[in-house]
Amino acid sequence: MELNVRAGESFWYYSNLFGIPLPLIIDSNPNYSYNTLQIGAPINIPGYEIQKHLINSGDSFFSISNQYQINMDVLMRMNPEINPNNLPIGQTLNIPQFLISPVVQVNTPYTSQNLQADLNKLIQLYPFIKRNIIGQSVMGKELTELRIGTGDRVVHMNGSFHANEWITSPILMQTINEYLIALTSNGDIRGLSMFPFYNTTTLSIVPMVNPDGVDLVINGLPEEEPFRSDALSINNNSYDFSGWKANIRGVDLNNQYPALWEEEAAIKPKEPAPRNFPGYAPLTEPESIAIAELTSQNNFNMALAYHTQGKVIFWGFQGLEPPESEIIVNEFARVSGYQPIQYVPSYAGYKDWFIQDFRRPGFTVELGRGVNPLPLSQFDEIYQENLGIFLASLYM
């Protein structure tokens, strides 16, 4: 939401007026210096959107401000063309409303188009979010990283490496949304105050690593060639893509990392397939390259890759994981009920490479239980389980 600056107003004024922590006001307006707000210029107020109120007989600014629990001065400023002493019946007023519920779409299969729409909404509502385009998919779809927070400690999370595990994307997005609401309201989640983490921890989140594959599983074959013909051929001419994990070229993005890749390649398919083909070499696909470059260019203290299914958390690789990984995963298990598993005979995953190259805590979190793609009927249960893991990633 935007307001126009008036004489004598400051970031402190807006923070007090709306009850929003001062750093969030400052970070939502990066074009302004702290002490010089330009009179008449717009200023962003995070967490608010404009609703409409139809003026009825007997309405007044006083009664409307009480009805919506908003400051009357703010109400008058949002409606400068309205005479406060003579409200015109039948016209509408702009009502600034703080959003207390998430706005992301979680009741429908979550395509890359759903993701982009939700990203746009969140960035408009919470302009202190930083949005970075870290690359493009094979088909040219943007790979987006969100950054939230200013802390030196950086926690990375990603979802939908695997196409038919797309439910991880809306899980991450709603989790982010709930965190943003708690930040702007100076509130808590499960009794834990959120705003202090904004100053200590920076979140790096890539909600959808594999948009082409996700769209293939949900929407079926694309119209564009050669992707349409190639995907159909790789899928043995079947139009059922529910078992498809790979990117649009039939490469499993989570088998693409140079962490014993040769051992993985020796036992996996030797050509493009709906699942498990690790490519002809490590890091050949633009999606896996984008995540690798993002990771290499940043100093992530911890990384969580979200998958489905099994309600387990994989946390080790070849004995290279640091000692604190076990402490962290045991807390993840406590708050989620998931089972920690240190080692499995599987290699070349993002978590494996992260542990190997950076010797930092890395985790593969397998949400939910059942047959992929997991149904949306499991969303609420999975969401609550992961919320504990998300919070623990902030305080551990």
Active site residues: 347, 366
Amino acid at 131: R
CA 76, 80, 83, 88 torsion: positive or negative? Answer: negative
Helix (H, G, I), strand (E, B), or coil: what is residue 194?
coil
DSSP letter for each residue of 342-356: ---S--S-HHHHHHH
**Using CB atoms within 10 A of its CB, is residue 253 exposed (0-12), middle (13-18) or buried (19+)?**
buried
Amino acid at 47: G
Cβ pair 383, 175 in contact under 8 A: yes
- HEC string of 245-283 equals CCCCCCCCHHHCCCCCHHHHHHHCCCCCCCCCCCCCCCC
Amino acid at 385: E
The values of phi and psi at residue 300, to 5°, are: -65, 130
Strand pairing class (362-367; 312-314): antiparallel
